[in-house]
Amino acid sequence: MPQPLIADYPLRAHNTFGFDVRARFAMRLESEAQVAALANDGRIANLPQLVLGGGSNVVLTRDFDGVALLVGILGKRLIAQDDDAYFVEAGAGENWHDFVAWTLAVGMPGLENLALIPGTVGAAPIQNIGAYGLEMGERFERLRAIELATGEAHEFDREACAFGYRDSFFKRAGRGRFLITSVVFRLPKAWTPRADYADVARALENSGKHDAQAIFDAVVAVRRAKLPDWKVLGNAGSFFKNPVVGAEAFDALRAREPEVVSYRQPDGSAKLAAGWLIDRCGWKGRAIGGAAVHDRQALVLVNRGGATGAQVLELADAIRRDVFEHFGVQLEAEPVCL
């Protein structure tokens, strides 16, 4: 029995910016078999397809004249363990933050630094999400994905995913070709804390605790203090990647801007704090229509109400130009812009 095809479907609840756009059709997918069957579904054979999980990493600039594939594959379980690690599998439609909380509740820490990142488990490898000293790729084991054109299932290991900084195969060569159905994570039994970031360390010191749950709670508190809740003020989290510049370029920049916030890399390059660059250019709180730079965190673009995706992109382009003019540094957007 084919999945129902829903006509003229509103996508406002499926993108965290809250843009009021619609899809010509939508289909809910709750199993890998339903995803595989899409390749032989004549109703959508000639339609563009848009895969949506939580919609936390996408900017929808207009109505979508195709079929939105709404990923709702659930389930999470321990599938194996050895002397060194637990191997945990989760469906692509699982809420990421809830999944992280569950791993702690069942005694398998290792993802706590990635608490409160919006979106779904299936979206995490696409973006190679990261925060507070940890990238998802460090805990990744493998994933399953269906090739939409053929319905064939494929397994991707870490090498095949080609993880980079907020990047992966699925944002580049694999974009639009695959739908991720499940992800397996490797959580080390020999747990070691990641608590080097000042805000997290300060929160831990205040609590007097330093276990995985304390780090989870500290990360949640810090994120809530710094970042707007997308359910209240539409946003996609950090809009720009922190740019990386070579050692020579960084030394020249620091000579002009001694206060530049940066993080030296092992190869001598430096990762710059994009939020500092944007704030230095005076963008915090400025707006184009309903799209604005958050007044407390310059790295976050928000929908103050009634904004369009086109306005967000116009604002982002103006910020890029200004940062390049002032610092000679190119900013790159984290979300996928459609």
Domains of the chain plus CATH, in order, are: 6-71 (3.30.43.10), 76-188 (3.30.465.10), 234-337 (3.90.78.10)
Distances (CA, A) of 237 to 44, 51, 334: 32, 19, 9
**Calpha distance 211→226 (Å, rounded):** 23
Average of per-residue pLDDT across 189-215: 90
pLDDT at 167 over 80: yes
Q: What is the pLDDT of residue 197?
A: 84
Q: What is the pLDDT of residue 135?
A: 96
Question: b or e along 224-235 (b: 16 or more beta carbons within 10 Å of the residue's beta carbon)?
Answer: eeebbebeebbb
Confidence of residue 78 (pLDDT cuts 50, 70, 90): very high
Average of per-residue pLDDT across 51-79: 96
Average of per-residue pLDDT across 294-313: 96
Q: What is the pLDDT of residue 2?
A: 81
* pLDDT per position as a tens digit, 206-235: 888 889 999 999 999 999 998 999 999 999
Confidence of residue 90 (pLDDT cuts 50, 70, 90): very high
* pLDDT per position as a tens digit, 98-123: 999 999 999 999 999 999 999 999 99
pLDDT at 199 over 90: no
**Calpha distance 195→198 (Å, rounded):** 8
Q: What is the pLDDT of residue 54?
A: 92
* pLDDT per position as a tens digit, 242-290: 999 999 999 999 999 999 999 889 899 999 999 999 999 999 999 999 9
Q: Which residue has the tokens 């707007």?
A: 228
Q: What is the pLDDT of residue 205?
A: 86
Q: What is the set of active-site residues?
A: 166, 238, 334
